[in-house]
Structure formats: C-alpha cells, structure tokens
A = this chain, B = another copy of it.
C-alpha cells in the first residue's frame, strides 16, 4: 500500500491568482521542488485531482495539467483510476542531496534597474560622438521605410559577407573618400570595429604569433589580440607614427602589424609616407599582414584627407577597417573590413561561425543613408561642429592654464592631448579628475613599454563649446591647479 502524501508535505503550496496557464506551471514547479528536496519521497501517492483542486482552490483542470506535465518529465507516474505517484526510479543521488535553492524573489529591485553605467557623458569623455546632433528622426524614417519595403524573403539567413547593397555602398564610399581600392565583394560587414579586430586575430594569428603594436596604442585591440594567444611587440610611436625601422631590426618575423595610420591613437600623428612604404615592403617580403584601423579618419578638419594605406598596397597585404559607430552612434554596431581578395572566403567563414552575419534591418537602413547622401551631409555638419569644439578646447586651455600645460590638437579626430608638466603622474591626476566628476583618461594607461611625458586625453566631440569652457575652467581650478 503506497504512502499517501500527508498534508504537511503539500503545505505551503499557494497558487497565485493569475491566468490558468501560470497556475498549473506554478503547481508543477512546487511539486517538482518537493520531489527534488525529498519532501515528497519516491512512491508517495498524491491526492486525487478533485480533492487536491479543492484544497488548493484551483480548478481540477489545473491539477490535471500539472500532473500530466510532471508525468511527461518523469517525476510522477500514474494511470487514470489508480492514482498518481512520485516516481520510484528517480536517481537516488538527486534526492535529499541538497536543499532546494531559495526561491528567487522577483519583486526585489534588480541591479539592472539602476541607471546604466556611464550613460551620462561628462567632460572630457573620449570616443563619444555628439548624440544630440544625430538626425534620429530621419534615421527612424529610413529604418521604417526599409522595414516596410524589404520583401519578407529577405528576412531569412542572409549573405555572411553582409547585405549586398550595403557592401556596394561602403565600397563606393571608401574608394571615393579614402582612396581604398576595392570592390563590393571584398567588404565584410561586421558588428563594429571590435569584431573586425577580433576576426583578424582569429583568422590571421596562431598561438605565439607576434603582432607589432603601436605604443601607446588602443587598449581594446591589445586585449583582443592577447586573447588569441598572440604576443604583442610594442613599437614606440613618434611624430611620424610607428617606428618601423626599429621594429624591423628588433622583431622582423611578426605576423601582423596593427596600425592607425591616418590619426594615430592616442597621439594623433599621421604615419609618414616613407614608413607606410617600408611597412608595405616588409609585409610583402615576410608574408605579414597590415591591419589599417581608420577609426576616425572621417573627422579631418584641416588639410586634404590623407589617402589610405590600403590604396598603396599592390600585394594584398593590407586589411582595412572602419566603423559607423563614431559617425552614427555607438549603439549601432556596424563596421566593415576591406579584405584582400585571397582572404575573403576565410573571413566570411569565420564570421559565419562567429554569429552567422549581422542583423539585416540596420544594414539596409545604413545602405540607404549612404546612397541618398544623408551620410555625407551628416559628416560635413559634424566635421564643422567638432572642429569648432576642438578650437574651443584649445582656446579654453590657453586661457585657463599656464604655459607648462600644453594642449596638443591634431588635424582632426575627437580628442586632444593635454600634456602635463614633467614630473606629474598622469594616472594620479586622472584619478583626481574622476573624483571631481570628470571622465578623463591618463595617457600612461595607453602605454605598453614606452615612456614619455604625462598627459591626459580630453574628448571634445560630445560637448558644447559652453560645456568645454566651463569644463576646462573647473578642471583647471579643481584638479590641475589646486591652490
């Protein structure tokens, strides 16, 4: 004669007053809990459905549904008429082995209810575009139009290289604006420049392969390459960019050089033509790759735009990459790689394995934005705006700071360098600034082995001229020149 479940074993089951579906699931979960933690032991007979329903004040149907589910899962066994029992054959190890985990309290405030970290931009945050100047209304119209217009068949799995019209529009834009030599098939659409770097690491680098890395340089690229198991060889940067001869002398057998030739990050210089050619020559002789990260070349304020290094390459050694995050907004995760034709298949395969390709709709909207000239118009507007902000930052620094603080602006970009008096510790200064409410970075944090004067990186793109002036005054009095 099987044991009957005493009332105490079923005590505490309360069914919240929700829809029918939620009720039977709740009941099933409560019973499952009691079986797993041993409160209902193997062989125990459960109350008849009608009786149990009355006890719980739910419909008999709810009880039957819960029983059916638990039978299907193997917790209960039962036949109509002869009753419902806790299964005998549950592996013993799982019973009584541990107390049930405490029920999650879904009413308690979740940490993610807090305002997202760093959502608020404060001077002088780097790498942040001016979001309030992006034409979101236009973007929304373009998105909606594309979403309505695309045939439903287009919403299946797409081309892993990217949405073809976008690839064509990017190829057209890069060949006109950046003297990149490419056809649409060489374009790989990726989820922002971070994925471009990641895919390069995965496809081009094996364990222990060496990467020439600009010093100081871009930390997210450093972390990404290191994760692949590659070794970084830091190459000091001077006013002409990476010191190529030094790298060639000390470490000729590198597999890849990661470069920001148009506007070195973070120092802001351009890589000289003769060094570009040395690099191309070295890569060609050694079968090495050059990854040209043209991360903010759209923002060149003075002088004609510098042509890309990719356009000089005649031996398929350069991979060129860029992103739309800085021109549009960072929450749009779309960028591109321009691949030498022999690498196209392997990168598409890697992208396929990484995530099967980018989401369609924003690609389609972006293609229209480029084709219709909205992109070029927005770029022209931002170039003027950022140039004014750059000059405002320089003027504010001249006005508020003594001569031993030197603000270095370059031919473009979205940040400037504030050189501190020799002997200052830029990490400590940055920390003081953060405590005073600023978002600034110390140049030392971007260095690998190189040494040099202390400096702060000051982003200016996201702040109005008034914010820049007030920010510099406050930075000067509260952080840089404490009485």
Chain A residues with CB under 8 Å of chain B are 22, 24-25, 28-29, 32, 36, 65, 68-69, 72-75, 87, 89-91, 93-94, 98, 100-101, 104, 106, 110-113, 116-121, 128, 131-132, 134, 136-137, 139-140, 143-144, 147-148, 152-159, 161, 164, 167-168, 172, 175-176, 179, 181-185, 190-192, 194-195, 198, 202, 207, 220, 223-224, 227, 272-274, 277-278, 280-281, 303-307, 311-312, 314-315, 329-334, 352-362
Cβ-defined contact, B277 with A117, below 8 A: no
Complex Cα gap A281–B90 (Å): 13
Complex Cα gap A98–B316 (Å): 13
Q: What would be 16 A-B contacts, judged by CB atoms less than 8 Å apart?
A: A22-B176, A24-B304, A89-B274, A91-B278, A100-B314, A101-B181, A106-B183, A111-B185, A112-B167, A116-B158, A156-B331, A191-B355, A194-B352, A194-B353, A355-B355, A359-B362
Cβ-defined contact, B331 with A361, below 8 A: yes
Residue of B nearest to A229 (CB): B207
In whole Å, how far is A177's beta carbon from the nearest beta carbon of chain B? 8
In whole Å, how far is A463's beta carbon from the nearest beta carbon of chain B? 13
Cβ-defined contact, B306 with A72, below 8 A: yes
Cβ-defined contact, B143 with A156, below 8 A: no
Question: Chain B residues near A333 (CB, 8 Å)?
Answer: 355-359
Cβ-defined contact, A195 with B355, below 8 A: yes
Cβ-defined contact, A334 with B359, below 8 A: yes
Copies of this chain, tallied across the complex: 2
Which of A93, A128, A183, A354 gathers the greatest number of chain B CB atoms within 10 Å?
A354
Question: Chain B residues near A94 (CB, 8 Å)?
Answer: 277, 280-281
Q: What 11 new A-B contacts, CB under 8 Å, besides A32-B311, A155-B332, A156-B331?
A: A69-B305, A72-B306, A112-B168, A112-B185, A119-B154, A121-B156, A139-B147, A140-B144, A194-B354, A194-B355, A332-B359
Complex Cα gap A359–B184 (Å): 23
Given A144-B143, A356-B192: A330 and B156 interface contact (C-beta under 8 Å): yes
Question: Chain B residues near A113 (CB, 8 Å)?
Answer: 164
Question: Chain B residues near A353 (CB, 8 Å)?
Answer: 194, 198, 220, 223-224, 227
Q: Which of B90, B156, B227, B272 is in CB contact (< 8 Å) with A128?
A: B156
Question: Chain B residues near A128 (CB, 8 Å)?
Answer: 156
Question: Chain B residues near A73 (CB, 8 Å)?
Answer: 273, 306-307
In whole Å, how far is A366's beta carbon from the nearest beta carbon of chain B? 11
Residue of B nearest to A26 (CB): B176
Complex Cα gap A330–B360 (Å): 9
Question: Chain B residues near A164 (CB, 8 Å)?
Answer: 112-113, 116
Question: Chain B residues near A137 (CB, 8 Å)?
Answer: 148
Cβ-defined contact, A303 with B72, below 8 A: yes
Q: Which of B91, B120, B273, B362 is in CB contact (< 8 Å) with A153?
A: B120
Q: Which of B65, B74, B304 is in CB contact (< 8 Å) with A65?
A: B304
Residue of B nearest to A307 (CB): B73
Question: Chain B residues near A167 (CB, 8 Å)?
Answer: 112
Question: Chain B residues near A194 (CB, 8 Å)?
Answer: 352-356
Cβ-defined contact, B192 with A355, below 8 A: yes
Q: Which of B68, B119, B182, B224 is in CB contact (< 8 Å) with A156?
A: B119
